[in-house]
Amino acid sequence: MTAKGAYLVDFDGTITTIDISQEIATFFGGTEYAKIEQMYRNKEIPIRKWLQLTAEKLPPDPDKLLEKAMEWAEIRPGFEEFLSFARSKERPVVVASDGFGFYIEPILRHFDLFEQIDVIYKNNTFLNSKGFFEVNTPYAHRTCHVCGNCKASHVVWLKEEGKRVTYIGDGSNDRYGASWADHVCARDQLLNYCREYGFAHSQWSDFYDIIKVDLPEQYDRSKDSLCEPRGSGVKVLK
Ligand SMILES: [Mg+2]
């Protein structure tokens, strides 16, 4: 029987060359946002709180935000070839994003990539009755306060399906999902975390590098993971 693999892929700074949520926040969020970002970097607030506080600082104009997101969107080299490769190996590609989410489908459709992705787990940003942006997090853990989108739970679910999971990401918040993966393709801040925690990983620069990575064995990560998506969530916030 052919070994079954799957890819869990972050969106911002991974599929796209820049983190579009971060760019939107920096461009539209003003000095108030700078304080929020500093709190996040100091680990005083988790990403879920970052999303909530930052969304309130954005101008209540969805068209304007989407226009900017589309203007900045650039797909990292090799992504289309990677999708074809994954399909040829019958490995599902699951995209999971903990950003604002509203631009993901329009960007993927613009580049004619949307139909080639198996599942997308993302947050939703909407204008509330008071005229402020709010972020809805349908894939959050029921009690854990750290992530808006519990990527670790998506990884665990794929593993329970018998898949060997390769996690592809770039950001610091990817460390929770990555801590459950059988192999991590890491760049930027995620690479630092992989080195610090000793996750099985390889460094990547573009999606041509991912194609070269062998399918890993499946490992029990329950002891070494940073969180328990089937339990009470984050183990230690570090
Ligand atoms: Mg990212």
Residue 226 has what pLDDT? 95
Superfamily of domain 5-19+73-234: HAD superfamily/HAD-like (3.40.50.1000)
Contact yes or no for 37/25 (Cβ under 8 A): yes
> What per-residue confidence (pLDDT) applies to 237?
58
For 75-129, the pLDDT digits (tens) are: 999 999 999 999 999 999 999 999 999 999 999 999 999 999 999 999 999 999 9
Ligand 1 centre to CA of 148 (Å) is 13
Whether the CB-CB separation of 191 and 202 falls below 8 Å is answered with no
* 19 Cα: distance to centroid of ligand 1 (angstroms): 6
Distance 122 CA to ligand 1 centre (A): 12
How much is the pTM? Answer: 0.96
**d(C-alpha 167, C-alpha 180), whole Å:** 9
- pLDDT at residue 3 in the model: 78
CA 230 to ligand 1 centroid distance, Å: 23
For residue 158, how far is its CA from the centre of ligand 1 (angstroms)?
Answer: 20
Residue from 226, 12, 219 nearest 104 by CA: 12
How do beta strands 93-96 and 119-121 pair? parallel
Q: How far apart, in whole angstroms, are the C-alpha atoms of residue 101 and residue 113?
A: 16
- Give the start-to-end residue ranges of the domains of the chain: 5-19+73-234
pLDDT at 1: 56
**Distance from C-alpha of 37 to C-alpha of 54, rounded to nearest angstrom:** 9
Instruction: Determine whether 217 is exposed, middle or buried from the number of CB atoms within 10 Å of its CB (0-12, 13-18, 19+).
Output: exposed
Question: Could you give the CA distance from residue 91 to residue 6 in angstroms, rounded to a whole number?
Answer: 5
pLDDT in tens, the chain (238 residues): 567 999 999 999 999 999 999 999 999 998 999 999 999 999 999 999 999 999 999 999 999 999 999 999 999 999 999 999 999 999 999 999 999 999 999 999 999 999 999 999 999 999 999 999 999 999 999 999 999 999 999 999 999 999 999 999 999 999 999 999 999 999 999 999 999 999 999 999 999 999 999 999 999 999 999 999 999 899 875 5
Give distance in angstroms: CA of 12 to centre of ligand 1. Answer: 4
Q: What is the Å distance from ligand 1's center to 171 Cα?
A: 5
| Residue 220 Cα to ligand 1 middle (Å) | 25
CA of 10 to the centre of ligand 1 (A): 6
Encoded tokens for 30: 């003003």
Residue 167's SS3 state is strand
- Tokens linked to 120: 């997308």
Q: What are phi and psi of 140, to 5 degrees?
A: -75, 150
User: 13: CA distance to ligand 1 center in Å?
Assistant: 4
